[in-house]
């Protein structure tokens, strides 16, 4: 009960539900969040993900679920499903990096992914573009970064509508600050121009709660997302 209270005090009770249940053998406690309202999906999902990280309510194999939940929240809610992929020979969970500080997570990416374990140079460029974006951001708080591929499709339709090369999420950042970043990379000279165009094409699929700002880098671009006041 005290654990429930410690989590609940951080949640907007009118919009986010939380509960726990002890397993039959009394060895585990299962926790679950739920959305009771769609009024502030982006902010409420951010709160849920932040509490999940602070309370360490996920296993190594469940890190990808945090990414999926974050991705789902920034798109028009419940209109899309998402397929996540990892480079050949890499487990999907290895593409999820969680840590404190953008520079620290960028360093982890560069240490974990090199031309020794990523033979596809275009894919390696996409991964290292995520590190390059993180290195441009001055932030020491909690960071989730996904360096695999993300494909968005509409429910009841099989064709892909949108594709992302990387995703960065800041679960504890206050409203009014950039809380999510989409990365698009093109591994050729001037690729940042095409990357910027592709990010512009993503905007119609995103939540109406968001404001966007696109920043070009060398051979990549990223879109900063902020929740509207």
Report DSSP letters for 5-30, one per residue: HHHHTTS-TTTEEEEEEE-TTSS-EE
For 46, list phi and psi in degrees, rounded to 5: -60, -45
Name the average pLDDT for the chain: 87
Distances (CA, A) of 181 to 119, 129, 134, 160, 214: 26, 12, 10, 21, 9
CA distance 208 to 124: 32
Residue 8 has pLDDT above 50, yes or no: no
pLDDT digits (tens, 9 = 90+) for 11-54: 555 455 554 455 555 455 455 555 544 667 888 888 889 988 98
Q: What is the rounded CA–CA span in Å between residue 194 and residue 216?
A: 10
Q: How confident is the model at residue 58 (pLDDT cuts 50, 70, 90)?
A: confident
Which has more pLDDT, 172 or 27? 172
pLDDT of 161 reads 85
Alpha carbon of 162 to those of 152, 153, 170, 188, 202: distances in Å?
Answer: 5, 7, 22, 21, 6
User: pLDDT, tens digit, for every residue of 186-206?
Assistant: 999 999 999 999 999 999 999
- Better pLDDT: 38 or 132: 132
Q: What is residue 1's DSSP assignment? A: -
Report the C-alpha gap between 13 and 134 in whole angstroms: 33
Structure tokens, 144: 């989730």
89, two tokens: 């020979």
């Amino acid at each position: 009960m005290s654990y429930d209270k410690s989590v609940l005090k951080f949640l907007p009770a009118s919009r986010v539900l939380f509960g726990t249940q002890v397993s039959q053998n009394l060895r585990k406690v299962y926790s679950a969040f739920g959305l009771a309202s769609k009024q502030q999906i982006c902010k409420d999902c951010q709160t849920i993900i932040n509490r999940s990280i602070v309370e360490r309510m996920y296993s190594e194999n469940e890190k990808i679920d945090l990414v999926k939940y974050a991705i789902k929240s920034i798109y028009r809610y419940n209109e899309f499903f998402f397929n996540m992929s990892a480079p050949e020979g890499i487990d999907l969970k290895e593409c999820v990096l969680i840590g404190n500080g953008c520079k620290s997570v960028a360093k982890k990416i560069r240490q974990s992914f090199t031309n020794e374990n990523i033979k596809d140079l275009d894919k390696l460029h996409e991964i290292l573009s995520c590190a390059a974006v993180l290195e441009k951001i001055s932030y020491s708080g909690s960071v989730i970064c996904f360096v695999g591929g993300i494909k968005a499709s509409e429910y009841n339709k099989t064709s892909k509508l949108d594709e992302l090369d990387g995703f960065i999420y800041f679960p504890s950042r206050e409203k009014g600050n950039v809380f999510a970043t989409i990365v698009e990379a093109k591994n050729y000279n001037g690729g940042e121009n095409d990357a910027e165009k592709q990010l512009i094409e993503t905007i119609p699929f995103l939540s109406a709660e968001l404001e966007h700002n696109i920043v070009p880098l060398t051979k990549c671009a990223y879109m900063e997302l902020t929740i509207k006041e």
